[in-house]
Structure formats: structure tokens, C-alpha cells
Amino acid sequence: MSLKITTNPTANEINEIYEGLLTHNLNYIHIDQYTPLAVFKEENGKKIGGITGDILGNWLRIRYLWVDKAYRGKNIATELLQTMEFTAKEKGAKYAEVDTFSFQALPFYQKQGFEIFGTLENYPINDKKYYLRKKL
């Protein structure tokens, strides 16, 4: 046995670890409890925003929400989030969770009904990372 330390793991190496964890988790969580989910906003065939995540059991897990800078302030993020929540509810989700940095979208998520249930201080250095949840 040996240890390999790298600050530049390959996609294949990361996938090996992911597959090992997934194999373990499937002893407890059935694959039919998992649904990837994404909503995109496009203009002239170009993505100007999107939200990605998945449904795991009763939970919608929001991973990434992005709107092109030129289109911010036009309620696109709200449209994306509400569409994702509606779709997740149709698929059986009862709750939603997301995390965000203090320099990102905390006020936006709070306005959408999310509440903070955890905070990491000094993350990654001088900011905060918030964990939020909401009942759908």
C-alpha cells in the first residue's frame, strides 16, 4: 500500500473515488430516489442563465445558479429557481437546500423563503458560507 498526494488529480481519479462512494451509498439510497434536474434560460440559442441540482429522496439539492451579468436584475434567477422548485415538487420533493457565500446570493435566497441553518465563519478566508433550507 502507498499514499499518493496530488494537487492536480485527474478527472479519472476523481471519478474513481466518486464511483466508490456511489457504490457504497447505493446500499442505503436506491437509484430511483435520485433525479438530476436543471433549468436553463436561453436567448438566441445561448445560455444566459441556469440552475442545476438534483432531487434526492424528499430533498431538492441546488448546486449552481448563475445568470449572465448582462441579464441580472430582470428576475431571471427567480424564474429559474421557482421553475426548479415547481418541477421538484411535482417529482415528490418536500424540501430544498442550498449553500451560498456571503458575497453571493444570501439576500436572494432569503427573499425566496430560505432560512439559514448553518454558517461557516472565515470561509474560505474572510467571508462566510451559509447553508439554507426551505419547505416546498
pLDDT, tens only, 2-61? 999 999 999 999 999 999 998 998 899 888 889 999 999 999 999 999 999 999 999 999
pLDDT at 113: 98
Mean pLDDT of 104-113: 97
3-state secondary structure string, 76-131? HHHHHHHHHHHHHHHCCCCEEEEEEECCCCHHHHHHCCCEEEEEECCCCCCCCEEE
Mean pLDDT of 93-113: 97
Cα angle for residues 110, 115, 116 (degrees, 5° grid)? 110
Q: How confident is the model at residue 112 (pLDDT cuts 50, 70, 90)?
A: very high
Domains of the chain: 11-135 (3.40.630.30)
pLDDT at 72: 94
pLDDT at 78: 98
